[in-house]
Amino acid sequence: MRKFIIDTDTASDDAVALVMALQYPDIDVLAITTVAGNVPLKQGTQNALYTVELCGKDTPVYAGCAKPILRNLSTAENVHGNDGMGDIGLPLNGRIPADGHGVDILREVINANANDITLITLGPLTNVAVALLREPELAQKVSHCYIMGGIGSGHGNITPGAEFNVWVDPEAAKIVFESGMPITMVGWDISWKYATFNKAESDDIRQIGTPLAEFVVDIQATLDEYAKAESGLAGFDLPDPITVAIAIDPSIGEFKQYHVDVTTGDGLARGLTMVDILGATGKDAQISVCTSADRKKFIEQLKASVRA
Ligand code: RIB
Ligand code: CA
């Protein structure tokens, strides 16, 4: 079994990513840590707990940081719904997270599985950054870290140049990107190019007819409206799921090694992931940037995860 630990600001696309990881036959998700982002921490934690229960798993969920390191929290209920899960009336409350702070759990689990664990981040990088500040050596104990975040090429989704996870806590992202941890960055460009679903394509998934198949589509209700109205897409896109799919099967993606800088200014200078395509900085090409993905393989993996 391959060991994963997933850090997430659980809203509608994160939930699908959790389903894919939890349902995959040779993946053992040792823990899920939650972080504030799409929705406040308490809601994201409830959403993660609900998703784990729906999958019939007992994977522990630990709440982490409730706000970015320096900045006030910016959430995205306008994108994912007030409850983060499409406001379709799911009972997303009353579940109890495991004892322990997400940052401490990241450290404990990585140390207990040094060089034999894959870290996947699906939200702002606050928890991971704080863990790395506390114990910089963690960077050398993670086999690989797959980050849904940043922009590999093209436009942003929260400002013209920035992607939400990096923009919410750019200081955290800078700490993580400069930590020396082996990182693959799956930017939002990969999502809108290879993981967007129009009505026919989402119906094709929902018609599998299982509770999970209906869940992964129905919770995208708000995201679907937002994507069409604001992102210029044909329907909802799934950035976190395609990131998990690539972490599970890297053959889905193509990658190039580049130096990536994160900006921590304000205004349009906030949260940019400057990919040094031409090597102009002369700095170490420390990040593996996903440059394309195999949509067919992604959808096959997604469908397989909801057939149970
Ligand atoms: O920019 C997309 C990312 O921000 C996704 O992880 C989404 O869930 C939000 O966290
Ligand atoms: Ca997310």
At 308, the pLDDT band (50, 70, 90 cuts) reads confident
How much is the average pLDDT of 285-302? 98
For residue 197, pLDDT beyond 90: yes
Task: Name residues contacting ligand 1 (CB within 6 A).
Answer: 9, 11, 13-14, 37-38, 122-123, 148, 157, 163-165, 188, 239-240
Task: Write out pLDDT tens, residues 150-166.
Answer: 999 999 999 999 999 99
Report the relative pairing of strands 253-264 and 27-34 from DSSP bridges.
Answer: unpaired
**What is the model's pTM?**
0.99
- All structural domains of the chain with their residue ranges: 2-306
Give the pLDDT score at 26. 94
Task: Write out pLDDT tens, residues 217-262.
Answer: 999 999 999 999 999 999 999 999 999 999 999 999 999 999 999 9
Beta strand ranges found along 25-153 (DSSP E): 27-34, 61-63, 118-121, 144-148
For residue 186, pLDDT beyond 90: yes
At 298, the pLDDT band (50, 70, 90 cuts) reads very high
At 12, the pLDDT band (50, 70, 90 cuts) reads very high
Return residues with CB closer than 5 A to ligand 2 (ion). Answer: 9, 14, 122-123, 240
Asked whether the beta carbons of 289 and 256 are under 8 A apart, the reply is yes
Q: Return the ligand 1 atom nearest residue 124 CA.
A: 10
Report the relative pairing of strands 270-276 and 287-293 from DSSP bridges.
Answer: unpaired
- Which ligand minimizes its atom distance to the CA of 191? 1
Q: Whole-angstrom Cα distance, residue 192 to residue 157?
A: 10
Per the prediction, the chain carries an average pLDDT of 98
Give the pLDDT score at 77. 98
Q: Return the ligand 1 atom nearest residue 9 CA.
A: 10
At 82, the pLDDT band (50, 70, 90 cuts) reads very high
How much is the average pLDDT of 124-128? 99
Q: Which residue has the tokens 């997303």?
A: 92
Topology given in CATH for the domain delimited by 2-306: Inosine-uridine Nucleoside N-ribohydrolase; Chain A (3.90.245)
How much is the average pLDDT of 186-194? 98
| Ligand 1 mean position, distance from CA 282 (Å) | 30
Asked whether the beta carbons of 277 and 181 are under 8 A apart, the reply is no
Report the relative pairing of strands 253-264 and 183-186 from DSSP bridges.
Answer: unpaired
How much is the average pLDDT of 73-100? 98
Asked whether the beta carbons of 268 and 299 are under 8 A apart, the reply is no
Q: Return the ligand 1 atom nearest residue 165 CA.
A: 4
What CA dihedral angle connects 202, 239, 10 and 81, to 10 degrees?
Answer: -60
Tokens of 117: 């664990």
How much is the average pLDDT of 115-134? 99
Q: Whole-angstrom Cα distance, residue 36 to residue 44?
A: 7
How much is the average pLDDT of 200-227? 98
Asked whether the beta carbons of 241 and 228 are under 8 A apart, the reply is no
